[in-house]
């Protein structure tokens, strides 16, 4: 199990804001934004579900939590974050009935993020598919 301090989480999220595209609140990927999936220890005990959103913006990052009302829509304490996955490739499709159907693929460049996290001593794993922090 990886132990991350509040400062480690802040380093992780601030690095994401600098090295990846801005996140969107939408629960489905959209072109031109970052994307991740995450869960909490509480959620793992309830239904083992994951949320999907863009990564939090700079102003969303508190001292020990992700703030309410931002990119993730509700507050999440760093201590409760169990697993976060940032996929290298993300497929999206339009969800708006007023526009013609569109779909596409985004690529998130995870190598510079991994290098920054390694430099800062933030434990994580990088594969050819995802960058992840898994605390269980």
Q: Where are the domains of the chain?
A: 6-134
Non-local CB neighbours of 109 within 8 Å, separated by 6+ positions:
19, 20
pLDDT tens-place string over residues 100-125: 777 889 999 999 999 999 999 999 99
pLDDT tens-place string over residues 26-48: 777 878 889 999 999 999 999 99
How high is the mean pLDDT of the chain?
93
Q: End-to-end CA distance of the chain: give it in Å, rounded.
A: 5
Q: Per the structure block, which two tokens stand in for 94?
A: 């339009």
Pick the closest to residue 136 from 94, 82, 90 (CA basis): 82
What residues form DSSP beta bridges with 65?
77
pLDDT tens-place string over residues 45-88: 999 999 999 999 999 999 999 999 999 999 999 999 999 999 99
Q: What is the DSSP string of 12-43?
A: HHHHHHHHSPPB---SS--TTSB-EEEEEHHH
**Is residue 131 a contact partner of residue 89, using CB atoms and an 8 Å limit?**
no
Q: Per the structure block, which two tokens stand in for 80?
A: 């409760």
């Amino acid at each position: 199990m990886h132990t991350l301090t509040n400062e480690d989480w802040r380093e992780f999220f601030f690095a994401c804001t600098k090295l990846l595209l801005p996140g969107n609140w939408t629960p489905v990927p959209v072109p031109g934004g970052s994307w991740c999936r995450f869960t909490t220890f509480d959620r793992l005990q309830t239904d083992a579900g994951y949320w999907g959103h863009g990564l939090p913006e700079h102003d969303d990052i508190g001292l020990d939590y992700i703030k309410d009302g931002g990119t993730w829509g509700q507050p999440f304490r760093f201590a409760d974050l169990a697993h976060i996955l940032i996929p290298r490739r993300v497929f999206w499709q339009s969800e708006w009935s007023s526009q013609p159907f569109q779909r596409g693929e985004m690529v998130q460049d995870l190598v510079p993020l991994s290098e920054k996290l390694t430099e800062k001593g933030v434990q994580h794993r990088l594969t050819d598919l995802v960058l992840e922090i898994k605390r269980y």
